[in-house]
Structure 1
Amino acid sequence: MKRIWLAVLAVLTLGTAAHAQDASQIARVQSGQSCPGCNLFQADLSYLDLPGIDVSGSRLRQASLALVTMNGARFDNANLSVANLFGGRFTSASFRGADLSRANLVGAYLHSADLTGANLEGANLSGAELGTARGLTQSQLNRACGDESTELPAGLHIPRCN
């Protein structure tokens, strides 16, 4: 019976560890190195300058990218749900297929960013600069919210945040 209990405990521990952040991968990104597919759960990347970095397919859930500069970065198919991108600069960054659900993009600068297929459900885009964003659709914006200072491509509008 003791062996069975230890086996069950090992399986449960491995299952939990698979979702925890990876400190070495976070340090790699903080130093400016690309890390596609990495586990950056709750990583603090705020205030950093990380141009052209590739974190495609990475788990950045609940990460802080506040006031970061990540121009030309790749976030394709990354999980940025509930992440804080407040005031971040993402000029020409690619968010193709990224999960930005419930993310804070207040004041984010997304000049020429590619948002094709990005999930914006519950995202706050108040004050965000999206006027030249590519791949942005009305359907995506209908699931997000913003305010009168949110800049959007011509012909698109966004529901107001409560």
Structure 2
Amino acid sequence: MSANSDPGARRHASGFPFLWGAAAVLLGLLTFNVWLAADLHRQQRRNSFERDFWLLCQPGSSPAERETAFLHLASAGHREWRSAELRGLNFAGVSLPGCNLQQAVLVRANLARANLEGARLSGATLDLADLTAVNLSQANLTEARLLQVALKGANLRRANLAAASLEQAQAENADFSAADLSDVICLMANFAGANLQGANLSGAKLESASLKGANLSLARLDGADLTDADFTHANWWAARGLNARQLEHLKKKFAPTSTAPRELQADYQRWSQASGPR
């Protein structure tokens, strides 16, 4: 008897189409369930983000709720915070490079150790904010308000602070190298130990500011107001743009003393000899 005449074989062969059909249906159901779950997840994320934005915009939300909402949105990659009301919130250590915080209100906000490299903060209000050790390198802070801000150890290399207000700012040991500080208001600001190498301080208001031990190599001071500024142990002679009257005043009042670092004393002596009597 041939295999073709075997009834069992015929039944076995006829069952394959059914199995393939069942497998296709099962695969379709699985695919649909996966798509449905993904769509549900996307909808939940959208709802969550909408709730976060709502919390940030509601004045009745608690600081804790607003901080959580902001950090949730930031972790999701949201970078647009123009004119945001972020007063008094704690964002210490947050990473938002390149974000847009133009016109944002960050009064008393805590941004210590935050990464805001290349951020846009023009016109922002940061009065009394904690920016200790913050990274603001190459950030745009033109016309920003930083009254009594804490900038100790901050990185502002190549930042643009033109026409900003740093009145009474505490910027000890901050790095402003190659930064634009033209026309900035620094009344009674503390730049002790700050690195201002190559910074543009043209037209800056430095009245009663402290620049003790600051590095002013190649800094531009054209038209700057130095009234009652303290240049103790600072290399002011290495700056550019000082007029003869300012140089004479600084030489009489802030020539390095025996308590200054030896390297600073030697550099001053070389400059003094090269420049001749004044």
Q: Distance in 1 between matches of 2:131 and 2:161?
A: 16
Paired AA for residue 56 in structure 1: K
> 2:192 touches 2:212 (CA, 8 Å); kept in 1?
yes
Q: Secondary structure at the match of 1:142?
A: helix
Q: Residues 85 and 127 from structure 1, CA distance in 2 versus in 1: closer, same or farther, beyond 3 angstroms?
A: same
The superposition leaves residues 109-140 of structure 1 with CA deviations (integer Å, 9 ceiling, x where unpaired) of 00000000000001010100112101345x61
Aligned pairs for 1:62-141 (under 5 A) are 62-136=158-232, 140-141=235-236
> 1:95 touches 1:116 (CA, 8 Å); kept in 2?
yes
Paired AA for residue 243 in structure 2: E
Q: Distance in 1 between matches of 2:96 and 2:213?
A: 26
Paired AA for residue 168 in structure 2: G
Q: Residues 73 and 149 from structure 1, CA distance in 2 versus in 1: closer, same or farther, beyond 3 angstroms?
A: farther
Bigger helix share = 2
Q: Secondary structure at the match of 2:187?
A: coil
Q: Residues 151 and 45 from structure 1, CA distance in 2 versus in 1: closer, same or farther, beyond 3 angstroms?
A: farther
> 1:56 touches 1:78 (CA, 8 Å); kept in 2?
yes
> 1:53 touches 1:70 (CA, 8 Å); kept in 2?
yes
Q: Distance in 2 between matches of 1:156 and 1:128?
A: 17
The TM-score with structure 2 as length reference comes to: 0.45
Paired AA for residue 127 in structure 1: G
Which of these residues, 241, 246, 251, is aligned with residue 156 of structure 1?
251
Q: Distance in 1 between matches of 2:245 and 2:163?
A: 17
> 1:82 touches 1:101 (CA, 8 Å); kept in 2?
yes
Aligned pairs for 1:13-52 (under 5 A) are 22-23=97-98, 25=114, 26=116, 30-32=124-126, 33-52=129-148
Q: Distance in 1 between matches of 2:96 and 2:137?
A: 5
Of 127-136 and 103-112, deviating more is: 127-136
Q: Residues 155 and 100 from structure 1, CA distance in 2 versus in 1: closer, same or farther, beyond 3 angstroms?
A: closer
The TM-score with structure 1 as length reference comes to: 0.74
Unaligned runs of at least 5 residues, structure 1: 1-19
How far the C-alpha of 1:31 sits from its partner, in A, is 4.1
Unaligned runs of at least 5 residues, structure 2: 1-94, 100-113, 253-270
Paired AA for residue 106 in structure 1: S
Q: Percent identity?
A: 33
Higher-RCO chain (CA-CA 8 Å, sequence separation at least 6): 1
Q: Distance in 2 between matches of 1:121 and 1:127?
A: 17
How many residues end up aligned between the 2 structures?
139
Paired AA for residue 39 in structure 1: N
